[in-house]
Structure 1
Amino acid sequence: MSQPTQKSKGGSHRRLLSRMLVLTGVVALSAPAFLSEVAHAADETMRVGVLIPGSKTDKGWMESGYDGVVAAEKEFGPKLKTQIIENINYADMEQALTNLASKNQLVIGVGGQTQAAVLKIAKRFPNVKFSIVGGSKGESMPPNVAGYDVKQAEIAFVAGAAAAMLTKTNAVSYTGGMEIPSIVNAGKEFGNGARYINPKIKYFESYTGDFDNVAKAREATAAAIAQGADVHYHILNLGLRGLEQAAKEKNTHVIGSYTDRCGTDPLYVAYSITGVGFQAQYAIEQLEKGTWQPGYKPFGLAMGPKASGIAVCQSTPAMDAKLKQIEQDILSGKIKVSEG
């Protein structure tokens, strides 16, 4: 009696297995449509990688770029997923960019110092878009790379004019990091702007060779102060800490860069706005709209006050009018400034 029962169970198992196979087949047939919907939903999430070579809390270029990414995150909410790598030295940039490019649709390099590595890595990832905040015009770019020129030389000229109006000793200084064309041109035009207001003003210019070297920035600023400078401008990252230390010790003042923070620190008498964050946010907005374009794009004064401008913390109507006229003369070509 036991054998027929086993056959019955075996038949039951075969029928159950048959039904399971039929059901599995139905699921299999419907799976592509279901998976395509999931894939479509995933495609609607923007994936953006950001390389910040310095510190995102440097009160300078890097923090401004980071602020722009944060603004985009608030603008797009869960639609935007970001991956940020910060504090990367030059030797490790290619590896960091490779990491970002393998996981994201758009990669943003915050700073012209990322350009050489971006141009190299972009060729290996032709389907990934790359935007360089602070990209220069000189080099030809692959068809998946955009270079956004903040045109620091323009606003440095205006900052120099403001410094000449603010100084009490008729002496001003500029400290740059790496001695690369865009940083050197900014220093040159800061001096030109100061002399535009006062041809006899003393101007001291120095470079530390490193945007983040606090000790060298402090030393350079102290040397300028010893020669009479009482208003200081810069293109530095963490090196700004050294400039601030020297200025505080001798009761001199600073014109900050990148973002208007008037009222937050009495050490600062003005800020130049160079739109680093504006450009980072711009790149992400263009990706979302489907209007992202490769190639060189100049920003600067022509793109409006969010991209470039000057904020004097305790200004006068006459000073504001003079600085506005200088901006207009730069835009019209009446005042010629360097590229970059």
Structure 2
Amino acid sequence: MSNLQSRSGVVLSFTAALFMGASAILLVPQVQAADQLTVGVLIPGSKSDKGWMESGYDGLMAAEQAHEGEIKVQMIENISYADMEQALTNLASRNELVIGIGGQTQAAVFKVAKRFPNTHFSIVGGNAGTEAPNVAGYDVKQAEIAYVAGAAAAMLSKTGGVSYVGGMELPSIVNAGTEFGNGARSINPDIKFIENYTGDFDNVAMAKEATLAAIAQGADVHYHILNLGLRGMEQAAKEQGTHIVGSYTNRCGSDPLYVGYSITGVGYQVQYAIDQAVAGTWVPGYKAFGLNMGPEAADMQVCNATPEMEDKLEQIMQDIKDGKISVLEG
């Protein structure tokens, strides 16, 4: 089982939902076996956003299947920043392992972790530099794979223009945008690169406006770090006949708007945290994922790639792993 706190007999766990605005908590009692690891998961956005949050949710579902009968999961989704600390407090008071999906949970996690020293916390999208004895930060290395995505986008562009739309201007999100542009210029030094930030991962209207502005400047392939805001990029691309390189999970063949996907193993890290806790090998501290952790952690898939394109992208990824191409953190 786990080296986390064990129980005897049968106890009650609770599923909690924080409602926006009133921030009321709904508690539903459920029977929990004594030897199950209790896992609380905070998904700040929607688990069906076709982006970061959905990838994390997919990893949670895979972990539940892999550890059927061994874990009991409590999940809270769609939480505003103002309610994040309350949501994490609720999860920490009822679970042995708490997972925050997204770097935007980091500040609240460290705050709550101080009050629950016997609870272990993992941040999917955590970064280096902040340490606590009961917190693990998993770095998805978004800037690394964004460089590869930029190279792919430049190969796919017919107009010689590509764009990037990020949500909040967090260092890791800005670094990913910078490296996307660098990757595109490695293929075409004269490529036009348009970069915008909406200030909100979930704002559909602002993401659409930013994408339309980029299209007006000549971009025909778009990349993103967005959650529900991705819907706005999709709307703009569909209206104007342009295309998207998606993030997080390979969904080639599911939507003709998408010409490729960068895999950033958000779901893989959720599984990793749970696997480690179940095995009793969970440890705090910073851990970098990315290309060196293998294709489940980071990869680039172009949906209808030529052999030449595949070879070029493989070489770029190998050069990053070998240190021949240096990229920013994040």
Mark yes or no: TM-score above 0.5: yes
The counterpart of 1:321, out of the listed 293, 308, 311, is 311
Q: Which residue of 1 aligns with 2:118?
A: 127
Aligned residues: 304
Q: Which structure has the highest helix share of the two?
A: 1
For residue 49 of structure 1, give the secondary structure of its aligned residue in structure 2: strand
**Overall identity of the aligned pairs, in %:** 72
For residue 37 of structure 1, report the CA deviation from its aligned partner: 5.7
Offset at residue 230 of structure 1 (A): 0.2
Bigger Rg, structure 1 or 2: 1
1:48 match: 39
Equivalent in the alignment of 1:93: 84
Name the CA distance, whole Å, in 1 between partners of 2:216 and 2:119.
50
Please give the residue correspondences for 1:134-283 in structure 2 after superposition, counting only pairs within 5 Å: 134-138=125-129, 140-283=130-273
1:68 maps to what in 2?
Answer: 59
Q: What residue is the counterpart of 2:95 in the other structure?
A: 104
Aligned counterpart, 1:308: 298
CA distance in 1, matches of 2:33, 2:204: 44
Gaps of 5+ in 2: 1-6, 12-31
Q: What whole-Å deviation, never above 9, does each CA across 1:220-263 have from its counterpart, x for those lacking one?
A: 00000001100000000000000000000010000000000000
**TM superposition score normalised by structure 2:** 0.91
Q: Deviations over 1:67-112 (max 9, x none)?
A: 0000001111122110000000111111000000000000000000
Q: Give, in whole Å, the separation in 2 of the partners of 1:335 and 1:142.
A: 32
Question: Are 2:8 and 2:34, in contact at CA under 8 Å, matched by a contact in 1?
Answer: no
Q: In structure 2, what is the Cα distance between the partners aligned to 1:288 and 1:278? A: 15
CA distance in 1, matches of 2:8, 2:142: 46
Q: Which residue of 1 aligns with 2:279?
A: 289
Letter in 1 for 2:298: S
TM-score in terms of structure 1 length: 0.88
Cα distance between partner residues in 1 of 2:120 and 2:202? 28
CA-atom RMSD in angstroms: 1.2
> What is the Cα deviation at residue 277 of structure 1?
0.2
CA distance in structure 1 between the partners assigned to 2:68 and 2:200 by the alignment = 36
Distance in 1 separating the partners of 2:288 and 2:132 = 17
Say which structure is richer in strand. Answer: 2
Paired letter, 1:293: V
Are the equivalent residues in 1 in contact too, given 2:163–2:195 (CA < 8 A)? yes
1:187 deviates by 0.2
Q: Distance in 1 between matches of 2:198 and 2:8?
A: 54
Do residues 338 (structure 1) and 309 (structure 2) align? no
